[in-house]
Chain A
């Protein structure tokens, strides 16, 4: 199975901050990497697929980059509604696997 490792596990940031979350795969997954946002008590919501393609309706302050084994999710200017948990997921091969999640909290 492909292991997905996110860092950090949590972070504290202020509104307006630039936030970067990293996801690393245990082997090359090309660009078969997706990012999800999850708020407490809610189902996850797709933000980015294919490493860098923004899902329809997602604000442009979210962006993704990377290929191979190293990927990044960036929020250019953190907004109050962005405080949530973010998870990466590989779809290069089954079993599909998720990272452990990164919780973005208010500083």
Chain B
């Protein structure tokens, strides 16, 4: 059974760096058909994809946030980590850790989601 476990609510101050760790179980981060993404959602607003790491370690980032984001993984620990620098109150949102299924051909899709971590940016 696939599970994605994220931390509880997080409070960070403006200009600080956010670090979120997601621990997965039920599959391996080295599986060739699986990758991991982070997606955020401000209260009452749309979903926004942030970053993705493929099974081979290749990474991809949101165009507008690329300079502030780093995604990494530790396959031996089954963990995926997102860091976001220079946090601002407008970055307050629920952050989701999400598994990406990449078939041999065709569309990738987000098939398993963590419960979400509420991140509040406030002094």
Secondary structure type dominating chain A contacts: loop
Most central of B52, B109, B111, B113 by chain A CB within 10 Å: B109
A92 to B115, CA, bound (A): 26
Taking a contact as CB atoms closer than 8 A, the residue among B52, B60, B110, B116 that contacts A89 in the complex is B110
Q: How large is the interface on B (under 10, 10 to 19, 20 to 34, 35 or more residues)?
A: 20 to 34
* B47 adjacent to A98 (CB under 8 Å): yes
Residues of A within 8 A of B46 (CB): 87, 98-101
Number of interface residues of A (CB under 8 A): 27
Residue interface bits A73-101, CB-to-B below 8 A is 1, else 0 = 00000000000000101011011111111
Contact indicator B111/A55 (Cβ below 8 Å): yes
Which A residues have a C-beta under 8 Å from some C-beta of B? 1, 31-34, 36, 38, 43-46, 49-51, 55, 87, 89, 91-92, 94-101
Which B residues form the contact surface with A (CB < 8 A)?
37, 46-49, 52, 60-63, 96, 106-111, 113-116
Contacts A91-B108, A98-B47 known; 8 new A-B pairs at CB < 8 A: A32-B108, A44-B113, A45-B113, A46-B110, A49-B109, A95-B49, A96-B108, A98-B49
